[in-house]
Amino acid sequence: MQNFVFDKLNFLTAGMPLSTGKASYNRAFEILNELNLDGMELEFVHGVRMSEETRRLVKQERENKNLILTAHAPFYVNLNSKEEDKVEASVQRIIETGLAANDTGAFSITFHAAFYMQQDKEEVFNKVKTRVSEISEYFHKNNINVWIRPETTGKGTQWGDLEEIVRLSKEFDNVLPCIDFSHLHARSAGAYNTYDEFAQILETVGKELGQKALENFHAHLAGIDYGAKGEKKHLILEESDMNYKDLLKAFKEFGVKGALVCESPNIEDDAVLLKEYYKSI
Ligand SMILES: [Zn+2]
């Protein structure tokens, strides 16, 4: 599948810039232009609620202002829930996110796929795969030309380490990873934070999923606080130990193109910091 061809790495905010205040998408997009940022991840984390009118407006403004969009599905997703109705609702939430992405011109959606629920990892993989297969087929049948991206998760209780996400992506032609580098760092309680480790991730993705995966990337980054159980909370980059400089060097070295979404609490400030540093390399 190919819905967007990228010529560079784009820097996006996770949701509207803070300085948007109570204003709407129009103003948010203006601010992105003013800050020389490249786009936004639409945050449907508490539910996919966006009117038809807003979808049209966002699509039009995205085109007018030449922005890149992605979307984040609701947090209430667990494709491995023991309750069937919850699994079905989770599938539905991911599909609704895909429909909203398609309507607004977002190229990729991401979601936290499942919890292990203390079950055998192989069993959980197969359950997630079955559900993602339904979603993948639905997207094909309904011409939803949007990448489906399970995200690398931040806690050991959540399904989705790098290997699982890459392995799942190999099974479907419209599935690729969303690599949250802060989650990988937190989940491993401090690893994945050197140039060599970042390079290793990019090498794995390129080798297993092809160059297209590196030229059509969807990643998340923020400062992060973590402990033995993984992610605690997001931090401002400079107030954390997240080695964003070496990550950006690795991106440049590997020719990564696509979207890097900044999820720091000071959203646009860190997005600008990342873009400025990347340009200086
Ligand atoms: Zn996420």
Judge whether 105 lies within some domain: yes
Instruction: Give distance in angstroms: CA of 98 to centre of ligand 1.
Output: 15
Instruction: Give distance in angstroms: CA of 225 to centre of ligand 1.
Output: 15
Judge whether 2 lies within some domain: no
Residue 88: band (very low, low, confident or very high) from pLDDT cuts 50, 70, 90: very high
Judge whether 235 lies within some domain: yes
Judge whether 51 lies within some domain: yes
Distance CA 106, CA 251 (A): 22
150 close to 177: Cβ distance less than 8 angstroms: yes
Helix/strand/coil for 268: helix
Instruction: Give distance in angstroms: CA of 254 to centre of ligand 1.
Output: 24
- The pLDDT value recorded for residue 223 is 96
Judge whether 3 lies within some domain: no
Share of the chain above pLDDT 70, in %: 100
Domain extent for 28? 9-280
Ion ligand 1: residues, CB within 5 A, are 151
Judge whether 1 lies within some domain: no
Distance CA 138, CA 273 (A): 39
Instruction: Give distance in angstroms: CA of 112 to centre of ligand 1.
Output: 6
Judge whether 4 lies within some domain: no
H runs (alpha helix) in 65-194: 84-104, 121-141, 162-169, 181-187
Domain total in the chain? 1
Count Cβ neighbours within 10 Å for each residue of 249-264 and write b for 16 or more, e otherwise.
Answer: bbbeebebbbbbbbbb
173 close to 147: Cβ distance less than 8 angstroms: no
Share of the chain above pLDDT 90, in %: 99
Instruction: Give distance in angstroms: CA of 263 to centre of ligand 1.
Output: 9
Residue 3: band (very low, low, confident or very high) from pLDDT cuts 50, 70, 90: confident
Q: Can you say whether residue 117 is alpha, beta or left, with left for phi > 0 and alpha for psi between -120 and 50 degrees?
A: left
Instruction: Give distance in angstroms: CA of 113 to centre of ligand 1.
Output: 10
Domain CATH code at residue 156:
3.20.20.150
- The pLDDT value recorded for residue 111 is 98
